């Protein structure tokens, strides 16, 4: 919780997923790149995955796929084993009234009473996720995946427009000069 900043259902989800992955892979927290995590969302649970598994963007063993799904795949480089964990919808609240309160809380228009109601709901949902039977929480599949290569260090080049260094595989060519993505702008064909 300290890394993330607060307790919430999403953090509880990531906690459970990471614990399941470590158990299923018979592994411990990754010191370097021994484990790989492929996450299909950028929600709160990813913070718990980072802390518990040691998989991080900076080390190159946390791979983010923007699918918007509560699905997490973990692989162990040493054993070659991998597990895919898909969180079931039963872990999430479908309380429409609470969704409206949530909108007001995050929109800054909630009353103090609504904030308290929302916080109690979040606490109850967090506890529910932590305590629910594993079969109700998720599906676990042992899978075969092609492990990504280990992280590489690339040369950097100075952007001809802004002067900031950009790693070689992200550099673009504009007017015959090396530039970074923001300075390159977008290209569309207009159709």
Among the listed ranges 59-63, 149-153, 164-168, which one has the minimum average pLDDT value? 149-153
pLDDT of residue 191: 62
DSSP per residue, 18-80: HHHHHHHTT----SSSSEEEEES--STHHHHHHHHH---TTTT-EEE------EEEEEETTT-
Average pLDDT for residues 90-114, to the nearest whole number? 87
pLDDT of residue 149: 81
Higher pLDDT, 190 or 89: 89
* Rounded distance between C-alpha atoms, residue 141 and residue 27, angstroms: 16
pLDDT of residue 70: 96
pLDDT digits (tens, 9 = 90+) for 62-97: 999 999 999 999 999 999 999 999 999 887 777 788
* Mean pLDDT across the chain: 91
Q: For residue 190, what pLDDT band results from cuts at 50, 70 and 90?
A: low
Residue 37 has pLDDT above 80, yes or no: yes
What are the backbone dihedrals phi and psi of residue 65, each rounded to the nearest 5 degrees, phi first? -115, 120
Domains and CATH numbers, the chain: 9-143 (3.30.1330.130), 153-191 (3.30.60.20)
* Rounded distance between C-alpha atoms, residue 180 and residue 182, angstroms: 6
Q: Report the share of the chain in percent with pLDDT over 90.
A: 72
Q: Report the share of the chain in percent with pLDDT over 70.
A: 97
pLDDT digits (tens, 9 = 90+) for 39-65: 999 999 999 999 999 999 999 999 999
Residue 158 half-sphere exposure toward CB, CA atoms < 13 A: 4
pLDDT of residue 99: 86
């Amino acid at each position: 919780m300290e890394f993330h900043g607060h307790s919430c259902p999403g953090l509880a989800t990531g906690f459970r997923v990471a614990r399941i992955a470590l158990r299923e892979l018979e592994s411990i927290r990754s010191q370097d790149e021994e484990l790989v995590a492929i996450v299909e969302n950028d929600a709160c649970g990813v913070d718990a995955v980072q802390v518990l598994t040691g998989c991080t963007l900076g080390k190159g063993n946390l791979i983010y796929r923007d699918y918007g799904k509560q699905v997490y795949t973990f692989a162990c480089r040493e054993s070659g084993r991998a597990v895919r964990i898909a969180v079931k919808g039963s872990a999430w609240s479908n309380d429409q009234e609470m969704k409206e309160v949530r909108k007001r809380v995050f929109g800054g228009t909630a009353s103090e009473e609504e904030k308290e109601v929302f916080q109690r709901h979040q606490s109850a949902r967090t506890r529910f996720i932590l305590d629910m039977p594993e079969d109700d929480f998720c599906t676990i599949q042992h899978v075969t995946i092609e492990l990504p290569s280990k992280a590489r260090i690339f040369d950097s080049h100075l952007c001809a427009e802004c002067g900031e260094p950009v790693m070689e595989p992200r550099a673009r060519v504009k007017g015959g000069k090396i530039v970074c993505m923001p300075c390159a702008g977008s290209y569309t064909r207009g159709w």
